[in-house]
């Protein structure tokens, strides 16, 4: 079956995410846009994924627990999990390795933790957009061990991507999945970096505002619309 998706969304927990990016607003906009499955990928945290899952249930939208990780090299990576237990373990692992610099909301914005009714129940103290003490090459195995899947984010962007920061695909790379922000850039990316010809390519919005969330234009084929089936399809 075809699953129309957007697997790169930020909530108001990301310091760069708009305050209107609450669980219910994200779920509602995804429904209006005709999406079947979404993933919340806040910077270096998964804490707002559970309330989004609850909010999306009324629309029949499948939610993956996700994170946009910033590696040692300041390369952004999407990490996706099928269940809260695996995501929570990853949350703890990353939190221990996040650079401990306090957030300044006046500069970077608030980092609001929400519940399923869009109530603010807390705020992360440490700035979430900092690098984590994890190398790009080590992330894949760690996420895989938790049953998830990891891949480089927006490789066609000129900031915080694998190509913009390293300038090349490491020769010992093992990933077979990658994200483009704009599918029109696929030809240029594969011409400059043939490695991506062997990758399954996803295209997600990296939405920080409700109006940025993708409409039903990109899809993957899965056996059913469940988190487990989606993760399985992404790993093929």
Residues 63-88: tens digit of each pLDDT: 999 999 999 999 999 999 999 999 99
Rounded to whole angstroms, the maximal C-alpha distance in the chain is 47
pTM: 0.97
What average pLDDT is seen over the chain? 97
Predicted confidence (pLDDT) per residue in 101-134, tens digit: 999 999 999 999 999 999 999 999 999 999 999 9
pLDDT of 132: 98
d(CA 192, CA 186): 10
Confidence of residue 30 (pLDDT cuts 50, 70, 90): very high
Question: 71 and 131 in contact (C-beta within 8 Å)?
Answer: yes
pLDDT at 127: 97
pLDDT tens column, 181-221? 999 999 999 999 999 999 999 999 999 999 999 999 999 99
Residue 236: pLDDT band with limits 50, 70, 90: confident
Question: Domains in the chain and their CATH numbers?
Answer: 2-235 (3.20.20.140)
Residues 6+ apart with CB under 8 A from 150: 69, 77, 78, 79, 80, 139, 140, 143, 144, 175
233 contact partners, CB below 8 Å, separation of at least 6: 220, 221, 222, 223
| Residues facing 66 on adjacent strands | 80
Q: Pick the closest to residue 70 from 88, 50, 94 (CA basis).
A: 94
Find out whether 15 and 128 touch, Cβ atoms under 8 Å: yes
> What is the rounded distance in angstroms from the CA atom of residue 55 to the CA atom of residue 28?
8
Q: What is the pLDDT of residues 124-166, one digit of tens each?
A: 999 999 999 999 999 999 999 999 999 999 999 999 999 999 9
pLDDT at 197: 96
Confidence of residue 229 (pLDDT cuts 50, 70, 90): very high
């Amino acid at each position: 079956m075809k699953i129309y998706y957007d697997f790169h969304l930020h909530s108001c927990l990301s310091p760069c995410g708009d305050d209107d990016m609450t669980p219910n607003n994200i779920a509602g906009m995804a429904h209006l846009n005709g999406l079947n499955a979404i993933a919340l990928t806040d910077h270096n945290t998964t804490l707002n994924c559970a309330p989004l899952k609850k909010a999306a249930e009324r629309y029949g939208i499948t939610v993956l627990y996700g994170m946009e990780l910033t590696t040692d090299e300041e390369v952004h990576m999407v990490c996706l999990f099928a269940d809260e237990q695996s995501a929570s373990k990853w949350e703890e692992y990353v939190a221990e390795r996040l650079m401990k610099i306090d957030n300044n909301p006046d500069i970077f914005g608030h980092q609001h933790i929400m519940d399923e009714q869009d109530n603010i129940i807390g705020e992360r103290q440490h700035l979430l957009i900092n690098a984590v003490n994890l190398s790009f090459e080590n992330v894949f195995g760690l996420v895989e061990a938790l049953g998830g899947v990891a891949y480089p984010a927006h490789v066609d962007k000129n900031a915080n991507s694998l190509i913009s920061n390293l300038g090349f695909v490491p020769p010992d790379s093992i990933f077979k999945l990658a994200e483009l922000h704009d599918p029109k850039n696929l030809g240029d990316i594969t011409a400059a970096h043939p490695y991506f010809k062997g990758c399954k390519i996803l295209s997600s919005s990296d939405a920080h505002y409700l109006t940025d969330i993708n409409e039903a234009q990109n899809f993957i084929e899965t056996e059913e619309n469940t988190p487990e089936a989606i993760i399985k399809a992404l790993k093929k």
